[in-house]
Amino acid sequence: MTYENLLVAEENGIIIVTVNRPQALNALNAGTFSDLKQLFGTDIAGRKDIKGVIITGAGEKAFIAGADISEFLKLDVASAAQLSKRGHDIFLLIERFHKPVVAAVNGFALGGGCELAMACHLRIAGEKAKFGQPEVNLGIIPGYGGSQRLIQYIGKTKAMELLLTADMIGAEDALRLGLVNHVVPAGQEVAKATEIIEKIATKGPVAIQKTIAAVNAFFELGGQAGFDFEVTAFGDTAGTEDFKEGASAFLEKRKPEFKGN
């Protein structure tokens, strides 16, 4: 696997992805989006043997400090919509990934960087992390799902304020609002993300996959359709060997040995 702007390593079954454009504070450009699409859409798309994925940024200043604005200056109405749609599609690959994807936010997560973090299933923030959607400062709006996912995590009232004012919030405020799961000392973001993925990896793999899909269904389908999805997914998991093993282990007071089927 060769990428233009990503460093990809595998450690004990965990894929660690580092957005590697420190000279540009890891700003998302066309090449980085192509790399993310290649990684999540092809290279690890079908892998059941991995435990999860961690996404972080190179250097100490930024997770991802936004999009590469120099590329935006070339856009017209049609090409801007196409750019936004491509970003949505790639971030949906991450949001719908069958294994947990954790953002290890080690600095600025602004604009597209905040949107990428929100597309991950969980977010770990270093104590120096900053979050924001500053697009209105440029006379534009978020284009990679920011206006939609931010509401899901922190509610309409506060999301509207942050989107309209372009204010940044720190790690502790992000935790209080529900944008991140944990705040850790600077430099410990990947370690905490690894700890969580290792814990999740002890659970039933099919159940984890179905849980991710069911939670996403609430937002993607909504209403009764989300509940219907859960009913079907519950039935599917009840028919697995993992369920038989998990239930037997519970009754026998032992640790289950899940096989992922």
115 is known as an active-site residue: yes
Residue 55 neighbours by CB under 8 Å, 6+ apart: 17, 18, 19, 94, 101, 102, 103, 104, 116, 117, 120
Nearest CA-CA partner of 149 in 254, 214, 219: 219
Task: Please answer whether residues 109 and 119 qualify as being in contact, where contact means their C-beta atoms are separated by less than 8 angstroms.
Answer: no
Catalytic one of 4, 60, 95, 135: 135
Phi, psi angles (nearest 5°) of residue 47: -80, 115
Specify the DSSP element, H or E, that contains 143.
Answer: none
Which of 60, 115, 198, 252 is catalytic? The answer is: 115
Active site residue 172: no
Closest CA to 184 of 130, 122, 129: 129
| Alpha-helix runs per DSSP H in the chain | 30-38, 69-72, 77-95, 112-119, 146-154, 156-165, 171-177, 189-200, 205-220, 223-238, 241-251
**Catalytic positions, written as ranges:** 115, 135
